[in-house]
Structure 1
Amino acid sequence: MKIPKPRKRGDSYRIELMFEGKRISATRDTEKECEQWAALKLLELKTGKALDEKGIKPQLPFKQLCEKYYIERGSKLKSAYVIRSKLDNIDKILGELATKSIYDFTPNDIVRWRNKRVLEVQSSTALREFAMFSAIFSYAEKELFLLDSNVWTKVVKPLKGKPRSQRITAEDQEKIFKRSKWDNQTAPYYSQHYVGWSLLFALETAMRQGEILSMRREHLRDGYIHLPMTKNGESRDVPLSAEAKRLISLLPDENDFLVPVKVKTFKRTWIRMRDEAGLNHINFHDTRHEAITRMVKNRKLPVEVLAKITGHRTIGILINTYYNPDAQDLVEMFNSSES
């Protein structure tokens, strides 16, 4: 059956299918999403009906379930970009499990995948992938009612691994910033200028990449910036240092989004600049570690105040994961406390 062409309705698209005299429709944000939904729905209807009559479970490849999950749920989450990136590489990540029917998954399949995956990537990456795939199976169980249980919950997750403690030295900062080709005195113009600007701003504020890219001019206040929605689902007010205020003053007044760069472009530009500097072991998120450590060292902020600025609900995570003093920092703070 040929998939019908979606019709534009306002800011969205609508597509309609006819199956055995019944009309089925869906509304999505783009034509492509409509067509993906229609292809999956037709396959479900055709295979499901034929096999249901025989009491046989239809073959449903895991990657197909993943696409349905993304269309129905994942695309609406804050982590949509991350989920999409994983699904675009699902054959590489999952190997033969990508095309295996969800009804044929066994705990041993997942154990073998887990043990292989932790040798290929960091344990934290394997853990995030494990959690995402488990969530997709839970979706199939509790929302689609395709499964009686989630087989991923019967397997021990990958170990969390040691928290990342990468610092960004002044030399590292300068090497990466130099690749932005921005003078730090005039308004940024190109994407690489804005990435350089964001590097400096993140080191002043400890803000996440996503928070920086979502900043709008209406969020600016006198002495701070208001973040209406953050990663933990709550709003946060971030005080601005004199340097952070100076950086903001350089941005064009017409910018609604203070950093008008798309997520994919930002990430691609950051990786290129970082790699050109010979620092491919550094992630943009490491600016958060560095900024928090500098705040403690230079501003002597008490931990409860620091947690309000950074948005950490759990003090232990803030101290043990994001505060990363080196030995010399500890020596200086220890000696200064005696004076």
Structure 2
Amino acid sequence: MATLRKRNGRWQVQVRRQGFPIQSRSFRSKADANEWARLIERQQDRQELGPDRKALKSITLAHLVARYRDEIVPQKRGSAVETILLNRFLRYPICQKTLNDLTTADFAAYRDQRLKEPKHRSDKPVTPKSLKRELSPLSHMFRHAVVEWEIPLRNPLDGLKLRVVDNKRERRLLVGELDRLLESTKKGRNKLVAPIILFALETAMRRGEILTIQFRHVDFGRLSLVIPESKSGYSRVIPLTRRAVAILEALRLEDAKPTDLAFPITPIALRLQWDRLTARAGIDGLNFHDLRHEAISRLFELGLTVPEVASISGHRTLAQLMRYSHANQETVRTKLQGPETGESSHH
């Protein structure tokens, strides 16, 4: 912020901003002083002036991460998962670096270290795609620090190379896997897991959407459900099958309030339950999100059109739904072959 004062016939101007060294100069005219102050402030906004190294030397990456975790993350959707990611990141030596010393090379070393580590409770290494998701909150943190907290630093993740091969999953339930899953739920303590699995297959809803359903969102008479906010940020109304409604009715107690959750379980708890469940069932390579893929594929196999499926799944572009087109290949082949006549028409 610039301050001006007239002294000994000259205008003295001083520009103070957190993270930058104080800039001062004197001019004969007030107009020149104001113009110079605006120039300095624009240069600071564009990061054209070097940051105050003294300020950056006093802030560690750990301090920045902790502040972001405590002040910003609680306001975000998915805050529980993001908090876990940030707490785990704080255990790495890179967090002891000051912002003055932090470079892209430091994150490159961290990247290489993470890609060699096994996933939690698994002997498989962390994938570049998983690591990219972990780094996303940190990248947002750096941008927020510059804009909102006026900490003059450059995002060290901007130049980090992370080759991600987007292998879109096409995993569907194999014969007998659903029965094995449901049978294994009987050995678990949480009795909500089986209804959640069946509801996911009936509705093609995402895990986060399912776990935020309140009974007031359900129209039991019209067999419909309001999803107030989806991953894309939009609300939508979807039709429910009678099986889906029956699942919800079985969970609704006589004294249930409209704001009560239909599936009162946290995302973290469900994730842990899913890992234990698939292990008990002896099923490899099946994620909970694959149930959504299975459900959408089944909708296409029922003969629903792309707009009809999109109205249920929440996809907003045709490209997003094209990955499910393989589900209908058998139907397409049948149509191409035409009806069987039992006798060739060619002689």
TM-score clears 0.5? yes
Which residue, 299, 305, 308 being the options, matches 1:305?
Answer: 308
Contact map agreement 1:199 1:287 (CA 8 A) in 2:
yes
Determine if contact 1:63/1:98 at 8 Å carries over to the other structure: yes
Tell me, yes or no, if the aligned pair for 1:207 and 1:288 is still in contact at 8 Å.
yes
Asked whether the equivalents of residues 204 and 243 of structure 1 are also in contact (C-alpha less than 8 Å), the reply is yes
Rate the CA distance shift 1:325–1:171 in 2: closer, same or farther, 3 A: farther
Matched, 1:260 2:264: yes
Report the structure number with the largest CA radius of gyration. Answer: 2
Aligned twin of 1:232: 232
Corresponding residue of 1:153: 158
Given residue 247 of structure 1, which amino acid in structure 2 is its aligned partner?
Answer: I
Residues paired across the two proteins, number: 274
**CA drift at 1:102:** 2.6
Partner residue of 2:126 out of 116, 121, 127: 121
Question: Counterpart in 1 of 2:215?
Answer: 217
Q: C-alpha root-mean-square deviation of aligned residues, in Å? A: 2.5
Q: Following TM superposition, where does structure 1 have runs of at least 4 consecutive aligned residues deviating by more than 6 angstroms?
A: none
Which residue number corresponds to residue 111 of structure 1?
108
2-structure distance, mates of 1:291, 1:142: 42
**More helix per residue:** 1
Does residue 135 (structure 1) correspond to residue 169 (structure 2)? The answer is no
Q: Distance in 2 between matches of 1:159 and 1:238?
A: 34
When residues 290 and 249 of structure 1 are mapped into structure 2, their CA distance, relative to the original with a 3 A threshold, is same
Q: Distance in 2 between the 1:53 and 1:112 partners? A: 26
Match of 2:178 in 1: 173
Residues 163, 118 of structure 1: alpha-carbon distance in 2 compared, 3 angstrom cutoff: farther
Q: 1:265 to 1:114 in 2, by over 3 A?
A: closer
CA distance in 1, matches of 2:239, 2:174: 23
Deviation at 1:315, TM superposition (A): 2.0
Question: Which residue is equivalent to 1:80?
Answer: 79
**How far does residue 331 in structure 1 lie from its aligned partner after superposition?**
3.2
Could you tell me how far apart the structure 1 residues matched to 2:59 and 2:282 are?
Answer: 44
Q: Which residue of 2 aligns with 1:31?
A: none
Which blocks of at least 5 consecutive residues in structure 1 are unaligned?
1-51, 183-189
Identity %: 26
Three-state SS of the structure 2 residue aligned to 1:202 is helix
Alpha-carbon contact 2:56-2:99 (below 8 Å) kept: no
Q: Does 1:291 align with 2:292?
A: no
Which stretches in structure 2 are left out of the alignment for 5+ residues?
1-50, 117-124, 340-347
TM-score by length of 1: 0.73
Q: Retained in 2: the 8 A contact 1:191–1:266?
A: no
- Amino acid of the structure 2 residue aligned with 1:87: L
Corresponding letter in the other structure for 2:179: E
